[in-house]
């Protein structure tokens, strides 16, 4: 059972937590009976170090709010949908999910919302019946990445964007933010520029946006292809956590490390080390630890009948930040402290 639904966290006894997942004391899948611990599920959009940080936040939140939580890390969108269905069948009081394909998952999300407390985190599904979204404004974060590109390459030139997949609300908005910032455009976050053509601005030209389906090896290959196709390329922009290490490796093997600039997202150790070593100007980080901890806090409150945790705009903002050499040390120290394994 543990393999099918993920790892249970913070239960007084794992066996008791697993037994509680089937149904509540009153036999329904609604609110838990008096004195029962809420049973929650935290569903990621894949398996990555980013989600390991979030899992630590879930762990701390579960202890603080006296709940049992299963952390589910699906392999792809189909697996994610199967995991949701499985949790609904078994009975769970609340779900926090990062939808992989928000547009096409709306029917399933609405089904879940009708049976349990459903919130989104990391990536939103605004057309669904989710109660609240916890995360960054991904469009604003994209513009931040564009600002880093401008700082690294003030003279402009040709750049390429790399992204795992664009079905998610987060990736699409990040890309639009980067494009709008580089092209000095107003907000176009409601739309999406085409992928198959160059997008030219006064100073910067985005030669392509390449997807890799969350495959670091494919991201590296894509970067190598772009450098061959565009010898005058000056910058690589990665929108997922694994991109900066993959893009830097492509530059290193191509003998172009230091000749092209790399800007990325999130806080993998290799990315932070690259900032320290001067190999990249910076990264835009989210707050995966707080994604996990806040999701547990909000779901625990909702299951216990407290709706005051949901703001009127149904968005709990955990602002994105730019991490560069100047603020790297305190950020990295805090990250290590939060994710340290207990002795």
The string of pLDDT tens digits covering residues 78-121 is: 999 999 999 999 999 999 999 999 999 999 999 999 999 999 99
Lowest mean pLDDT, pick from 47-51, 70-74, 237-241? 47-51
How much is the average pLDDT of 27-46? Answer: 75
Neighbour order of strands in the sheet with 68-72: 7-9, 68-72, 39-43, 94-97, 117-121, 133-135, 315-317
Give the dihedral sign, CA 122/103/305/68: negative
| 146 Cβ neighbours under 8 A, 6+ residues apart | 177, 178, 179, 180, 181, 182
- The predicted pLDDT at position 22 comes to 40
Residue 43 has pLDDT above 90, yes or no: yes
Are 15 and 80 contacting, i.e. CB atoms less than 8 angstroms apart?
A: no
Write down the pLDDT at residue 10: 39
Domains of the chain: 2-136+288-310 (3.40.50.2300), 138-285 (3.40.50.2300)
Q: Determine which of 23-27, 170-174, 303-307 has the lowest per-residue pLDDT on average.
A: 23-27
* Helices (H) then strands (E): counts for the chain: 12, 14
Counting every residue written for the chain, the total comes to 343
CA 89, distance to chain mean position in Å, is 26
Q: Which residues have CB under 8 Å from 101's CB, separation 6+?
A: 77, 167, 168
Q: State residue 18's pLDDT score.
A: 36
Integer Cα distance of 37 and 300 in angstroms: 9
Region 207-214 average pLDDT: 95
- In sequence order, what are the beta bridge partners of 9? 69
pLDDT at 217 over 70: yes
- pLDDT of residue 5 exceeding 90, the answer is no
Q: What is the rounded average pLDDT for all residues in the chain?
A: 90
- pLDDT digit string, tens, across residues 53-77: 999 999 999 999 999 999 999 999 9
| pLDDT over threshold 90, residue 196 | no
């Amino acid at each position: 059972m543990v393999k099918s639904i993920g790892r249970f966290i913070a239960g007084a006894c794992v066996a008791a937590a697993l037994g509680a997942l089937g149904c509540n004391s009153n036999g329904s899948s609604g609110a838990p009976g008096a004195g029962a611990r809420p049973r929650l599920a935290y569903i990621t959009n894949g398996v990555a170090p980013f989600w390991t940080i979030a899992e630590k936040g879930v762990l701390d939140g579960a202890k603080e709010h006296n709940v049992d939580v299963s952390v589910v890390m699906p392999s792809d969108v189909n697996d994610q949908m199967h995991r949701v269905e499985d949790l609904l069948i078994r009975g769970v009081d609340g779900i926090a999910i990062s939808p992989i394909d928000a547009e096409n998952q709306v029917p399933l999300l609405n089904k879940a919302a009708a049976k349990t407390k459903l919130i989104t985190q990391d990536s939103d599904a605004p057309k669904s019946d989710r109660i609240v979204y916890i995360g960054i404004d991904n469009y604003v974060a994209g513009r931040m990445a564009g600002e880093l590109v401008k700082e690294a390459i003030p003279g402009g030139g040709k750049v390429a964007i790399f992204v795992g997949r664009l079905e998610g609300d987060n990736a699409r908005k990040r890309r639009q933010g980067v494009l709008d910032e580089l092209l000095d455009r107003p907000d176009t976050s409601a739309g999406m520029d085409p992928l198959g053509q160059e997008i030219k601005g006064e100073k910067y030209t985005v030669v392509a946006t390449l997807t890799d389906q969350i495959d670091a090896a494919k991201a590296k290959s894509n970067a190598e292809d772009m450098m061959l196709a565009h010898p005058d390329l000056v910058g690589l922009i990665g929108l997922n956590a694994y991109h900066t290490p993959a893009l830097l490796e492509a530059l290193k093997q191509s003998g172009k490390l230091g000749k092209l600039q790399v800007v990325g997202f999130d806080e993998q150790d290799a990315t932070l080390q690259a900032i320290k070593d001067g190999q990249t100007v910076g990264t835009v980080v989210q707050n995966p630890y707080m994604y996990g901890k806040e999701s547990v806090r909000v779901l625990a409150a909702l299951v216990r009948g407290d709706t005051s945790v949901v703001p009127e705009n149904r968005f709990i903002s955990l602002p994105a930040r730019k991490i560069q050499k100047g603020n790297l040390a305190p950020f990295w120290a805090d990250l290590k402290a939060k994710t340290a394994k207990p002795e």
